[in-house]
A and B are shown apart, each in its own frame.
Chain A
Amino acid sequence: MAKLATTENNTPFLQASQLFHRFGPTEILENINFTLEAGKVISIVGPSGGGKTTLLHLCGDLLDVTDGKVINRFESQAFAFQDARLLPWLTALENIAFSLKAKGVAKNHRRKLAAKMAYRLGLVKEDLDKFPKDLSGGMRQRVAFARALVLEPELLFLDEPFSALDIGLKRELQSLLIEWVTNKNLSIFFITHDLAEAVQLSDEILVLDADPGRIVKRVKIEKCQSERDGEFIHQQIRMLLDDPLIIETFELNFNNRQQEAS
């Protein structure tokens, strides 16, 4: 789409202001404020049950905003959900192509694009004809991720998209995202429970504590994503973990996960 030349109003952004949310009597989110600009990455980290997914749904217009305001000026957006949400009766390839089909892309073309994206995410040809039941958790996550990426949206909503992937694959997908952020001006609203991942990818990290979900800390990282090496990431994490507030939030998180696991 042709864009009008350069008034400020034309750079897209996502903004939440004084956002509250409750499910029934329980307050889930309390006074959330942030702005995500084009070509930037915001990460939400925090304990599970803290309202991260709810915040994503509110920002992505999958849940009605009842109190506060969300302004979304991006022209296209796509989601990779925490649970992959694949259609069980479609093959991996068809699942990836689903998002393109919804946009009206012709069959041959969308299959080509979908396959290309699948290969980029490390899926192999034999996987493409499998149904979700025959894919591993990591493969399903990649299919869901591919279904969102293949649209090449301006704004990506990612809800813990790498949680089931091994470390090598995780790295690869992260560098793919960084490339798109740098070269295609992609913006990402990113939920993760992995601090290293957040440090690697984000321009800003929001720490969301639970009960009710509220932002207890904001960390901006200026250094360009592609220049962040292992050392830098370690150092940033150490800095973050020096903050008692973050330790508290994450210890809580850690304990919760252990309870869930047992």
Chain B
Amino acid sequence: MNAITNILKEFPRYLWSGWGAIASLFLFLAVWDLGNQINGSLTLPSPKETFIALWQLMQTAQLWQDVQITVERALWGFLISLVLGTFLGMLAGNFVTASMMSRPIITLIMGVPPIAWIVLALIWFGMSDESVIFTVVIAAFPIVFVGALQGARTLEGDLNDMANSFQTPLWMKLTDVYFPHMFSYVFPAWISALGMSWKVVVMAELLSTPDGIGASLAVARSHFDSAAAMALVVIMVIILLLIEYLLLEPIKREVEQWRS
């Protein structure tokens, strides 16, 4: 497909454009090191100590297992939110009553802090994958739902009138007007939902499972192993950055070139 070859073609240039970001990361490392010199290694291990701990962690099979488990949970939660949120949001958006009724419910769900949902999930599902995935879905679903709802609510407008004025057949309205319109609302929501999934999954694991990165973080905390804790944080950030900048951002650039 044209879009995919375009993404690949643009990729080297896109990487070059990342130098500014890298420079600011190094600045961040410098500040971090300063923080270490002021506060000492127990409170804030230096970048060097952290990366040594990280290196050691990366030699263990345990870490990769944890990463895999956490990624799987996050992806499951995200996928469920994506499918449910997109479908239900679009459905609700087509009915005035449904969209009016769903708003306060969504506000309510989003208003309850994720930490409270974790406690409820623990009561309902126990220490299990389900608890984590449930919490992820609860956090990510509303974002997708609202995006899809707004997209569907705004389908009927000037552009729809324009399409009707040319007696555009339904299939073409779907492919050329409705789908791109929906996508322009839903895609950014998917991206935020993915970010949200990743943050919430670790928090949920920390409290409700014996495995995964979140659980390792809990272990590091109980051992006062601040270097290991920092190393885990670094891993989480790296994974998020990889997803964000190697996967989502290039796709976003390609599919949303038309956006100002």
Contacts and interface: CB of A to CB of B under 8 A. Distances in A.
Contact of B176 (A62, A90, A103): A90
B166 A98 contact: yes
Contacts of B97: none
A234 B6 CA distance: 55
A132 B158 CA distance: 15
A133 B260 contact: yes
A62 B162 CA distance: 9
Interface string A126-168: 0000011100000000000001000100000000000000000
A89 B184 contact: yes
Contacts of A172: none
A83 interface: yes
Contacts of B163: 102
A99 B168 CA distance: 8
Contact of B258 (A98, A102, A133): A133
A87 B165 contact: no
B159 A62 contact: no
Contacts, number: 50
B167 interface: yes
A98 B258 CA distance: 16
Interface string B218-260: 0000000000000000000000000000000000000001111
Nearest to B162: A85
B80 to A, nearest CB: 28
A99 B166 contact: yes
B258 A60 contact: no
B158 A85 contact: yes
Given A102-B167, A133-B260, A81 B162 contact: yes
Interface of B: 158-159, 161-169, 172, 176-177, 180, 184, 257-260
List 7 tightest A-B contacts by C-beta distance, closest first: A133-B260, A131-B258, A102-B168, A85-B162, A89-B180, A102-B166, A79-B165
Given A85-B158, A98-B168, 4 more contacts: A87-B180, A98-B166, A131-B257, A131-B258
